[in-house]
Structure 1
Amino acid sequence: MRQQCNQVTGVILAGGRSQRMGGEDKGLMMFRTQPLWQHVLQRLQPQVAQVVISANRHPQRYRQSGLTVIGDTLPDFPGPLAGMLATLRAIDTEWAAFSSCDTPFIPHDFVQRLWQEKHDAQAVWVRSAARDHPALALVHRDVADRLEDFLHRGERRLRLFLQQVGGRPVLFDDDERLFININTPQDLLLYQEEK
């Protein structure tokens, strides 16, 4: 996988409004003694050549990590697709592996597994036994123009876009807990002890 890793930039999506978190910057919420996004970083970083952060608020706090922070190029927080567009335009590698900042238990090999199953698709994403996880995706930067058009039409649905560019899900039969999203203050409390 090392050679493939050199072709992939990891992207932590932390640019949303976090409305269910009371408007707090979700990535910066403390979880098990460190900000939530850093849990994602620890799992994603060994799987890719480099990691960048998609963030629209508190960029200086994210930059303290030494990582590049990329803000949306579109106004008004139009969702994860806007973060994907901005990073696909900015990265040097052909591929980006995306993870939202609120999935602290992602598999240590999800990028490799998506890579092995992508074949000729320009986008693949994780499907667990319970549901699709389109924010856990491997996407080729060549889809950026189509993504920009999609967003300018007012579309915001991530899975729909990935499907429209010929993407497909990859089944992960892992423990469902690896794909937990921490969306609310109650979730933060609930999963403090989750392994």
Structure 2
Amino acid sequence: MKQPIGLILAGGQATRMGGGDKSRNDLGGRSILSHVIERLEPQVSQIVLNANGDAGRFDDTGFSVVPDSIDGFAGPLAGVLAGLDWAAAHGASHVVSVAADTPFFPCDLVPQLILAAEAQDKPIALAASPDPVKGMMRHPTFGLWPVNLREDLRAALLGGLRKVVLWTDTHGTAQAAFPAPVFDPFFNVNTPHDLETARGLMEDL
């Protein structure tokens, strides 16, 4: 498999952060988004951002910005579809998605997702990490997605489907398990309290 395109999902409404682009909040003197880019860029062939509204607010990144093609803030799958459509137009076979509010995700995310898909012979791979109460938990915004499933995804979204795993499980999904020795690497910043927690974690890195 060729190196996939990286897709940063920044299309949410950030209601629990009071709106706006939560990925622009400061974390260790830089935005959360800059940490996400720093981790993703070495692992992919190029990066595209999924975001709705004025694309010009991301001009400073230098990346293409693609909005959801499904109206009504249809969730992360709509962002994945936008990325898959962009990737198809640029001759890519796969996309790896990451969330724009998750600054500590693994630096080997992409190769581990590819290895999981190949080893388990599945078209889609999702990241997972251990939860002390719930056991191994999948993270559906961190996935490897084949471009050739984009029309099936489009039909599912137009039919009203919104939950990621309800669609992925119909096609077969590999799981790439990542350890969480100190804290969950997929910790994401949803609230002001989460942002303060992330700042504390940054000091411990």
CA contact (8 A) 1:143 1:165 kept: no
Aligned residue runs from structure 1 range 105-184, under 5 A = 105-119=104-118, 120-130=121-131, 131-175=137-181, 176-184=183-191
Structure 1 distance, partners of 2:107, 2:44, is 11
Aligned residues: 191
Q: For residue 99 of structure 1, what is the aligned residue in structure 2?
A: 98
The more displaced of 96-105 and 58-67 is: 58-67
Q: TM-score, normalised by structure 1?
A: 0.92
Q: Identity percentage over the alignment?
A: 34
Deviation at residue 8 of structure 1 after TM alignment: 0.2
Tell me, yes or no, if structure 1 residue 26 matches structure 2 residue 22: yes
Tell me, yes or no, if structure 1 residue 187 matches structure 2 residue 186: no
Per the alignment, in what secondary structure is the counterpart of residue 200 of structure 2?
coil
Per the alignment, in what secondary structure is the counterpart of residue 95 of structure 2?
strand
CA contact (8 A) 2:9 2:51 kept: yes
The more displaced of 156-165 and 37-46 is: 156-165
The equivalent position to 2:66 in structure 1, one of 63, 70, 79, is 70
Q: Deviations over 1:17-69 (max 9, x none)?
A: 11111112222222222222211110011001111110113421212211111
Structure 1 distance, partners of 2:9, 2:108, is 18
CA contact (8 A) 1:7 1:94 kept: no
The more displaced of 150-159 and 170-179 is: 170-179
Structure 2 distance, partners of 1:7, 1:185, is 35
Q: TM-score, normalised by structure 2?
A: 0.88
Per the alignment, in what secondary structure is the counterpart of residue 113 of structure 1?
helix
Structure 2 distance, partners of 1:60, 1:173, is 37
CA contact (8 A) 1:126 1:170 kept: yes
Deviation at residue 7 of structure 1 after TM alignment: 3.2
Cα RMSD (Å): 1.4
CA contact (8 A) 2:8 2:47 kept: yes
CA contact (8 A) 2:129 2:179 kept: yes
Deviation at residue 81 of structure 1 after TM alignment: 0.6
Structure 1 distance, partners of 2:156, 2:174, is 18
Amino acid at match of 2:195: L
Q: For residue 55 of structure 1, what is the aligned residue in structure 2?
A: 51
CA contact (8 A) 1:162 1:168 kept: no
Amino acid at match of 2:69: T
Deviation at residue 78 of structure 1 after TM alignment: 1.0
